[in-house]
């Protein structure tokens, strides 16, 4: 079995412009083809969009994202924030229903396939009901540069040389300088996330520190209007702790999803088994595989799009089916449904446990790679990608990183 590829390698480029994978419609006629709505100018008037919806029973999540942003950021926001499409609903809050939004924070220096697969598996396989969207919060550039240069603060002090790996023939200072060359600017880290299969349900908070902090006011503002909104935070298994349970709980974030992609963490052994977290109940096996297949069968989400988001290495197999079927998108749905079920069964179900003394604190583990999958030749981590960039030419690095970088051609 092959390793999971970083992204579809454009086998569908031969599709007609009105018959694209990203705007699927079985009829394939110009009048009914699903296309994205045109974006309004970035500086379009927003006052009407920011009126209080107290008398509404539902409201787009976009309303509150715009409302919490500083005026300087509001003028920069595109419209719509979430691309309209037919394969998944536009993120919308409803009164009487708790809506959840995934928060994914990190340096993403650079973002890699492990980040993307954790995001997509968490979204489509969440054990927490009614997850409607995800927000990516890239760390501001200064903090990323400090981290890359080895100037992080630890325990109230500047980290000493011994806190960091020697990456340049015994010279920590020189090594830090070389690392800092690959502290990628936030705008470039954001570009690497761009994906038309993410844009209908993912928004990237890319406008700096003010934007970053404003996001955390979403819950309170929505509740003032009678809408119940809650964040679910996602992260790697390194955020789990055998002794403490989950690090996110210390920040008063109760609902958490963790996952790994060929990177065993504290709660998961090399053999794939889950270790009990001491403050928590035993891990309970979930029925997230069956739940996702029911959503697909009910037409709630598009099966082809979900398959390519969760298992992007299946793009070539779908491309072959597409070609044999006379390039009819509708012919992909049956094979895609079968492949999706096979891959989900191979990776296995999710697991969840909760804090014994506070049942509100829960953590779900979602498996990403399946049994028998071969890991990429480069470790799936941002630091490993940067090390490749330090020692290889651009041409060599692109080839080396094709299975782990989100965009190996533009990771520079």
pLDDT tens digit string along 292-336? 999 999 999 999 999 999 999 999 999 999 999 888 999 999 999
The predicted pLDDT at position 182 comes to 59
Look at residue 375 and tell me if it is in a domain: yes
Between 44-48, 101-105, 367-371, the lowest mean confidence (pLDDT) is in 44-48
Look at residue 262 and tell me if it is in a domain: yes
Residues listed for the chain? 412
**Half-sphere exposure in the Cβ direction for 341 (13 Å, CA):** 12
Please provide the average confidence, as pLDDT, over all residues in the chain.
Answer: 79
Q: Identify the burial level of 97 via C-beta atoms within 10 angstroms of its C-beta, where 0-12 means exposed, 13-18 middle and 19 or more buried.
A: middle
Provide the percentage of residues in the chain whose pLDDT is more than 70: 76
How large is the average pLDDT for residues 164-175? Answer: 39
How large is the average pLDDT for residues 210-214? Answer: 86
Look at residue 60 and tell me if it is in a domain: yes
Per-residue b or e along 253-282, where b marks 16 or more CB atoms closer than 10 Å to that residue's CB: bbbbbbbbbbbebebbeeeeebeebebbee
* Tokens representing residue 175 in the block: 């090594």
Look at residue 22 and tell me if it is in a domain: no
Q: Identify the burial level of 156 via C-beta atoms within 10 angstroms of its C-beta, where 0-12 means exposed, 13-18 middle and 19 or more buried.
A: exposed
Give the strand pairing for 255-260 and 351-354: unpaired
pLDDT class of 53 with cuts at 50, 70, 90: low
The predicted pLDDT at position 203 comes to 96
**Position 64 pLDDT exceeds 80:** yes
For every residue of 316-361, DSSP letters joined together read: HHHHHHHHHTTS-GGGGHHHHHHHHHHHHHHH---EEEEBSS-TT-
Look at residue 356 and tell me if it is in a domain: yes
- Say if residues 91 and 54 touch (Cβ distance below 8 Å): no
Q: Identify the burial level of 67 via C-beta atoms within 10 angstroms of its C-beta, where 0-12 means exposed, 13-18 middle and 19 or more buried.
A: buried
The predicted pLDDT at position 371 comes to 67
* Tokens representing residue 154 in the block: 């630890």
Provide the percentage of residues in the chain whose pLDDT is more than 90: 50
How large is the average pLDDT for residues 100-106? Answer: 95
How large is the average pLDDT for residues 88-112? Answer: 94
Domain total in the chain: 1
Bond prior to 318 in cis (omega within 30° of 0): no
Look at residue 326 and tell me if it is in a domain: no
* Tokens representing residue 183 in the block: 């502290």
The DSSP bridge partners found for residue 236 are 259
For every residue of 26-74, DSSP letters joined together read: TT--TTT---PPPPBPTT---GGGGS--TT-SEEEHHHHHHHHS-HHHH
Between 70-84, 171-185, 246-260, 362-376, the lowest mean confidence (pLDDT) is in 171-185
In this structure, what are the phi and psi dihedrals at residue 172, rounded to the nearest 5 degrees?
A: -65, -40
- Say if residues 85 and 355 touch (Cβ distance below 8 Å): no
- Compute CA 68 distance to the chain's CA centroid, rounded to the nearest angstrom: 22
How large is the average pLDDT for residues 337-343? Answer: 96
**Position 38 pLDDT exceeds 90:** no
- Compute CA 187 distance to the chain's CA centroid, rounded to the nearest angstrom: 17
What is the H or E stretch that residue 304 is in? helix 303-310
Look at residue 313 and tell me if it is in a domain: no
pLDDT tens digit string along 242-300? 999 998 998 888 999 999 877 777 888 777 789 999 999 999 999 999 999 999 999 99
Domain around 122: 47-297+351-380
* Tokens representing residue 60 in the block: 């787009």
Between 18-32, 152-166, 267-281, 340-354, the lowest mean confidence (pLDDT) is in 18-32
Task: Map tokens 């603060």 to a residue.
Answer: 153
Look at residue 158 and tell me if it is in a domain: yes
User: Higher pLDDT residue, 142 or 331?
Assistant: 331
pTM of the entire predicted model: 0.81
Q: How far apart (Å, rounded) are the C-alpha atoms in residues 377 and 164? A: 24
What is the H or E stretch that residue 233 is in? strand 229-236
């Amino acid at each position: 079995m092959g390793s999971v590829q970083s992204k579809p390698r454009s086998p569908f480029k031969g599709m007609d412009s009105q018959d694209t994978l990203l705007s699927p419609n079985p009829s394939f006629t110009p009048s009914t083809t699903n296309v994205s709505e045109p974006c309004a100018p970035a500086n379009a008037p927003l006052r009407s969009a920011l009126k209080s919806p107290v008398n509404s029973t539902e409201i787009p999540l976009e309303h509150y994202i715009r409302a919490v942003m500083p005026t300087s950021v509001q003028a920069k926001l595109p419209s719509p924030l979430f691309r309209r499409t037919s394969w998944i609903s536009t993120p919308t809050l409803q009164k009487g229903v708790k809506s959840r939004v995934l928060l994914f924070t990190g340096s993403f220096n650079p973002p890699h396939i492990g980040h993307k697969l954790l995001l997509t598996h968490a979204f489509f396989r969440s054990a927490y009901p009614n997850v409607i969207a995800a927000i990516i919060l890239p760390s501001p550039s200064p903090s990323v540069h400090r981290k890359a240069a080895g100037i992080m603060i630890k325990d109230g002090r500047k980290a000493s040389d011994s806190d960091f790996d020697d990456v340049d023939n015994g010279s920590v200072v020189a090594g830090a300088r070389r690392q800092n060359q690959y502290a990628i600017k936030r705008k470039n880290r954001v570009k690497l996330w761009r994906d038309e299969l993410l844009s209908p349900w993912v928004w990237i908070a890319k406008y700096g520190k003010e934007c970053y902090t404003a996001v955390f006011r979403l819950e309170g503002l929505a509740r003032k209007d009678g809408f119940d909104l809650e964040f679910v935070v996602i992260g790697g298994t390194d955020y789990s702790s055998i002794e403490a349970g989950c690090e996110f709980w210390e920040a008063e974030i109760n609902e958490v999803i963790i996952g790994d992609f060929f990177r065993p963490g504290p709660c998961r052994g090399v053999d794939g088994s889950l270790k009990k977290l001491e403050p928590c109940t035993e891990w309970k096996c979930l029925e997230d595989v069956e739940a996702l297949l029911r959503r697909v069968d009910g037409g709630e989400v598009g099966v082809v799009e979900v398959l390519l988001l969760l298992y992007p290495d299946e793009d070539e197999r779908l491309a072959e089916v597409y070609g044999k079927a006379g390039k009819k998108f509708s012919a992909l749905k049956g094979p895609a449904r079968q492949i999706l079920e096979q891959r989900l069964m191979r990776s296995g179900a999710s697991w969840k446990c909760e804090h014994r003394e506070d049942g509100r604190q829960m953590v779900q583990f979602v498996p990403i790679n399946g049994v028998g999958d071969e890991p990429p030749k480069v470790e799936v981590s941002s630091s490993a990608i940067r090390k490749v960039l330090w020692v290889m030419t651009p041409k060599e690095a692109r080839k080396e990183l094709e299975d782990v970088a989100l965009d190996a051609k533009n990771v520079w």
